[in-house]
Chain A
Amino acid sequence: MAEQARNKKTDAGKPAALAATAAAVGSAVNLAFAQGSDKIKVGLIGCGGRGTGAVRNCMEADPGVEVIAVADLFEKQARGAKAGLERDGKFKDRTKIPDDHVFWGFDACKKLLATQVQVVLQAEPPGFRPRHFKAAIEAGKHVFFEKPVAVDPAGARIVLEAARLADQKKLNVVCGTQRRHEFSRVELMKRIHDGAMGELIGGQCYWLGGGIWYKMPDQGTTEFDWQCHNWYHFCWLSGDQICEQHIHNIDVMNWCFQGPPKNFLGIGGRVCRDYSSQAKQVSKLFNDGDESKWEKYNGDIWDHIGTELEYPNGARVLSMGGHGGAGRGGERLVGTKGFSDCAGSITGENAWRYSGPHPNGMVQEHADLLKSIREGKPLNEGVRIAESTLTAIGGRMSAYTGRAFSWNWLLKESKLDLWPGEDKLKSGPGIFYPIPSGHDPLV
């Protein structure tokens, strides 16, 4: 993953192993805890690239972690994850997945939650995340879940409620917005919040990158299965790029301003995302050789969204997310006393540059979760990540509808719910929405 490559780069070119050592040293205090019977049993829901990556990050973060169960919608994915970990020289000793702990199908999550796992790693497509999260908390599991944690306001509310339940149950929840666990950013934010930049009056954040994968169906795959494999291309599964990817940067802006924006104004469209040649082949496969139905297989997400996020103090922040146009990444903050790159430095009146270690944030986030579990000091990022997810959803909704609206409306009154309902979740027809028009009704 490029995200990991990026982290390696901030580690000043150190190999990942060195970064891992740093992380292990960071949690040395807890090693005493980890000895003896203090193993932590982990289960993975969603066995794609990010899921199996997260399991490895988790095992790297703490030598007491053992993975004991895996679940996926697809048998091949679930079995593949088990086999891959068992082959991995670095982690095979702590991969203890019995055959009856490999789950697939629509109830795989439920089955995994019924095992002895203590920590659940959620890396399924985002559309499924809110309900899986709720089930995990109700089952009394600690949770690491990937971002974003929902694709619509209804889902964000499910996460908010479950996060509050996690508080009551003293369960720990950490999310895969790893920037929140990077030491350089943590130190930077302390200074920003202490006023080193004065009043915050503006900012920018960007994730403008290349295109994404498009998978052809396997022999015998149903439309619904194919759609779940190609989840990024469908808003009800991914939330669109602003939600799925650009949320990282939006979350940093919310971190700067210590909460979500108060107003949204988004603009966007789909001008260059084109998978028509593959989509026509898919159409033939699913429609007895008829390629005329290709448009739905071209996906319904946009390729660019620009949003103005207006924070409660009046600061207006530009967010740009897209695929296929100009390239740009990162965040930037503007204060009355200076600027910041939001990564580790401030320029201006109180100029400062972070100079400590840079452990890999994608490992550190697990280290922080496991430490909080071992020490019984609750760490619950659920509300925060639900708010950041809803911020990204708000940007998307504003762009899709061409309408400006407030956070309060979005949080409390929007009725948008893309979840198809349990009865529609079955190997069969896919669930397709039209490409948004830019003046869709606001619900």
Chain B
Amino acid sequence: MKKPNQFIRNFCIIAHIDHGKSTLADRLMEQTGQVSKRDMEEQLLDSMDIERERGITIKLTPVRMFYDSDDGNEYVFNLIDTPGHVDFTYEVSRSLAACEGAILIVDASQGIEAQTLANVYLALENNLEILPVINKIDLPSARPDEAKREIEDVIGLDASYAPLVSAKDGTNIKEVLEDAVKYFPPPDGDEDAPFKALIFDSYYDNYKGVILFVRVKDGGVAVGDKITTFRSDKIYEVTEVGVFAPSMLPKDGLKAGEVGYIAASIKSIQDVAVGDTVINADNRAAEPLPGYKKVQSVVFCGIYPLDGSKFGDLKDALLKLQLNDASLIFEPDTSQALGFGFRCGFLGLLHMEIMQERLEREFNLDIITTAPSVSYKVIKTDGETVFVDNPSHLPPVSEIESMEEPIVHADIYSPPDYLGQIMDLCRDKRGIFEQMTYLDANRVKLEYRLPLNEIIFDFFDKIKSRTRGYASFDYEIIGYEKSKLVKLDMLLNGDVCDALSIIVHESSAYNRGRTLCENLKDAIPRQLFEIPVQAAVGGKIIARETVKAMRKDVLAKCYGGDITRKKKLLEKQKEGKKRMRTIGSVEVPSEVFMQILKTNDD
């Protein structure tokens, strides 16, 4: 038995969204000389465009640093930056399994937030040593002592030694590094044992195949080794191993306690799953490492290629994204209106949005997404229970005994000034008030039971707009409840458009139907004939609008000089038509399918 290098510290940073994780990570890298100040691009580890634009971390990102401690030794730090948003808890739990310690950042002015707690519990579950750090002490509204007191009261951690830092200004960063050396344990494991490493992330490289991000627990791996995983019987030869510096830097090998990557010409994306354990094929370890809890999708939507012939490209893109984000699930689906596509499951609305954006940006795909749905429990008259997340798969009304919908427990934090607005909104969304707690003079926690299908549309946006951005919101699913749900169909020129069907509560069917008719009327371009736009529940029409026939679409003049120009114009118009879907005889632009997400009030 040989203990791994005792001068390694593997840790991550956890925090509520926007408490400064990525900024602190950048600062640590700068302080350890990993990157020169000159090369610093703001938020170095948020490398995706979407991350920079939205100012949030979506993906975990590992990086290796060297630190000369005051104790005279040089330490290797492996830091894993993690997302803060509730939808990405899965990413966080993956990084935690690869670490021994976690830096817990608490915003000096905002204190403990919903996601701070969630992440702390995750870290505690993983037996991590937690080092609290109070950030943003440069802000005039900073109240570091109160933040410390909250950490002690709410989480029960001793915060007396917590460094007070400003990641923005670079104040007291050194203290954080020293504390990491002092408080985080070195990795355990056995260098002499057979090789065993946890896959905590992966992505697909066009030249090298699948790249595995691993935390080596036992033994070591080097170029030329034969590897396999516990769940697959395929054997691969390692072509490259290395560390994150922060870009990938090849090395001869990785040993127990280290964090790095492995490339082994793995071509098939399905063969290696995040959470699986990599082992040496010639010297197999006996037991796999504990993987991750399988996560449950809560929001579903259909994703279709705008151009039907791009189905294969969409499939490849989804597979590659899944490799990078195991929480994304999908299966092939067909729609009369949209053709071949996929039914996809996500951890939340933001997760869904981000995935849609990544498909468009990273894979250059034009996609159409259908309305988000939750998974409903349908008890049929024959006693069978089925789960339905796609409105068009709902059994006929005559076969449905009853339906249940997922219910969440929601915590809404807000300054007291906005309580009225929030309560109004929750009432509109069929929320049931449970409790109100004054956290301090400026902060109230409201607890509600809410149907999940009411919050997946625009709840978050509305909370933000009604409280001028002050409120924050977190939820967890607590179970299913019986509910009077109906399927709302939209008919274009008499034909049901399956991609526009939604499941709604009986009480809101009429309003949603009317709003949708109005929105669709505006979104569908006028055509050569009149198009009735109708909303129907169970075959009964409940709302109707009409897209009038187009009266004028002509170029007034077409003489000698106009011919080329006119032809170009018509070609452009034709291009636009090509991007439309035909439902029955109606040509529908893809934006129409997004109308379902809009509601008309405020």
Q: Do A and B come from one complex?
A: no
